[in-house]
A = this chain, B = another copy of it.
């Protein structure tokens, strides 16, 4: 088995791509760091870094292992905190994941409500995309997620929190912004489009493809975060379909236009949790919020 020191060493080298600088960051010298990495690679059984005397870069396996190493370190640093909290007699601890977009709409009021119901419970918040939240709920790293469909209803219970419309984000200087009517599909036939990632933001991707007649040749960027999309719109790289709550982001130079599409409020946000979650704080919260198991 590798050690935590080897993991921190690897993370540092992976980030610096330079043994000397990484060693400096770790307050050690370069030779033992080199040996740490060698040992790590031996126990892992794969080359993680491709290096010659002049250049260091991550291998494909190294990139994947870097993710795991970061998760391990995060978990390891949180674990004692959890234990201490419980030891100090606090009532409990809830780890809640939320999508960036939901942070600008439902998160504030929801936290207030939670605070009223279980004031003695500590809340950990983590911004994660839906897929990461589902992963976290499965491994027990999260208690509650604020996420988008689809999710496996065999494994998760859910409660619809919020519905909202989609709007079109355009640069404020864009001709469409002066239009006095809702945007039609035809208005966009020659517009450069900033699109949701079909893997990372599958919910929005599917929604947009279903409701709007996307010309894939117009797609100039594929991104996974709403905030990134709006920033790109502000930078005049194109237009983007975003949920209405993105209007609360407060980014300058962007106008949000209504869409003349079929469904009124197609964007859903659900609270989801593992059916066999046992955290007493969660159980109490769900009961008092009257999120009936469904």
Contacts and interface: CB of A to CB of B under 8 A. Distances in A.
B84 A140 contact: no
Given A60-B281, A72-B76, A65 B83 contact: yes
A71 interface: yes
B75 A68 contact: yes
Given A4-B4, A60-B279, A72-B72, A83 B140 contact: no
B140 A67 contact: yes
A47 B80 CA distance: 11
A54 to B, nearest CB: 16
Given A1-B76, A87-B46, A82 B64 contact: yes
Contacts of A46: 80, 83-84, 86-88
Interface string A86-112: 111000110000000000000000000
19 contacts: A1-B4, A1-B5, A44-B80, A44-B83, A45-B80, A45-B84, A46-B88, A50-B278, A60-B92, A60-B279, A60-B280, A60-B281, A61-B87, A62-B83, A64-B93, A68-B78, A68-B83, A71-B140, A72-B79
Given A45-B83, A46-B88, A59-B280, 12 more contacts: A1-B76, A3-B4, A44-B83, A47-B87, A48-B83, A50-B278, A59-B87, A60-B93, A60-B281, A68-B75, A68-B78, A69-B79
